Amino acid sequence: MTQNILLGVAASAAMMLTGSAEPAIGPQVQAALQQRLPKTPITGIDCTKIEGLCEVTAGANLFYVDKSARYLVIGRVYDMETRQDLTAARLLALNPDMLVGGAARANAAADAPEPSAPGNGARVTEQRGAVRTLDLSKLSNKGAIIWGSGSQSVTVFSDFHCGYCRALSQTLETMNVRVIERPISVLGSRDVADRVLCAKDRHAAVRAAYAQDPVPGTGKCDTSGLDENEAFAKAHGLNGTPVLVRSDGAVMEGFQPKAQLLAWLKGARS
């Protein structure tokens, strides 16, 4: 009788922790991965976040497996309801000092002998589009937040949760340049972008957003321009931020110091 009660309490505790009567599968996944990827040091397994998948961390690397650990997935997972890149957010937490340009990082294929096993010689690399130039002429002004002034202009695809975008914005503030900021939600910042776009003083709202201060307003206005920005970014492989586009269409990805920015802007073809 006592044993049955203890078993019942244990089962209830498992249900509270896992959300179902299904036994914890983390140890099973761990054992399978140790057998199939013996040279990959697994540092964490979480099978509770995404239905049907287990998130696996191997040091600074991140990948996914199914609950049988038969199939391994290297890529990015998006929550389409919240418009959040779950992989980017997790990698930002794992590698806050390594997330160049705020771009979500994915694991490159390992060198050998486990070509699909992150952590076995795998390199953390930036996912960047192969686009060298961009034609922005078909983009409307509805999703553009224009601030600054000067004879030169630059378009910036940015994310208000991106630390390197914040650093870039602060640098551009010190330059004689007209900034056309086009927010895209790579790190789940769409709500903030809505508020900035709908603000009466957009430049002040940009500063508040990057400072992680409250952005006044309800965010209730025509925000279809932000949808346009995101559709354009997706169509052209802009998976990370910041992405800068010069007046002649030349593209530069990631944060650069002021001297490099000035030299790059001066190189625009008339």
Which amino acid appears at position 157 of this protein? F
pLDDT of residue 6: 36
- The answer as to whether 1 is a domain residue is no
Kindly give the confidence (pLDDT) of every residue in the chain, 270 residues in length, as a single tens digit, with 9 standing for 90 and above: 444 433 333 333 333 333 433 446 788 999 999 888 887 888 899 998 898 999 998 877 788 999 998 998 887 787 777 666 777 777 767 765 444 333 333 333 222 233 333 332 222 223 333 347 999 999 999 999 999 999 899 999 999 988 889 999 999 999 999 999 999 998 888 999 999 999 999 999 999 999 999 998 888 999 999 999 999 999 998 888 999 999 999 999 888 889 999 999 998 876
Rounded CA-CA distance 210/264 in Å is 24
109 and 155 share one domain: no
In a domain, 10, yes or no: no
Mark whether 83 and 153 lie in a shared domain. no
Quote the tokens at residue 31.
């054992």
Nearest to 147 by CA among 173, 170, 167, 166: 173
Q: Given this model, what pLDDT does residue 37 score?
A: 87
Q: Is residue 136 part of a domain?
A: no
Q: 3-state SS of the chain: helix, strand, coil percent to 5?
A: 35, 20, 45
- H/E stretch holding 266 reads helix 258-266
Which of 73, 96, 126 marks a domain boundary?
Answer: 126
* Same-domain check for residues 166 and 218: yes
What residue ranges in the chain does DSSP mark as E strands? Answer: 44-50, 53-58, 61-66, 72-73, 78-79, 84-85, 105-107, 124-126, 145-147, 152-158, 177-183, 243-246, 251-253
Q: Quick one: which H or E segment has residue 190?
A: helix 190-198
pTM of the complete model: 0.56
From 76, 97, 126, the end of a domain falls on 126
Residue 12 within a domain: no
Beta bridge partners of 66: 53
Per DSSP bridges, beta strands 44-50 and 53-58 are antiparallel
Tokens of 131: 């686009």
Where in the sequence is the domain holding 93, given as residue range(s)? Answer: 17-126
> Are 105 and 195 within one domain?
no
Report DSSP letters for 205-243, one per residue: HHHHHHTTPPPPS---S--HHHHHHHHHHHHTT--SS-E
Same domain, 92 and 200: no
Number of structural domains the chain divides into? 2
User: Does one domain contain both 192 and 156?
Assistant: yes
Residue type, 158: S
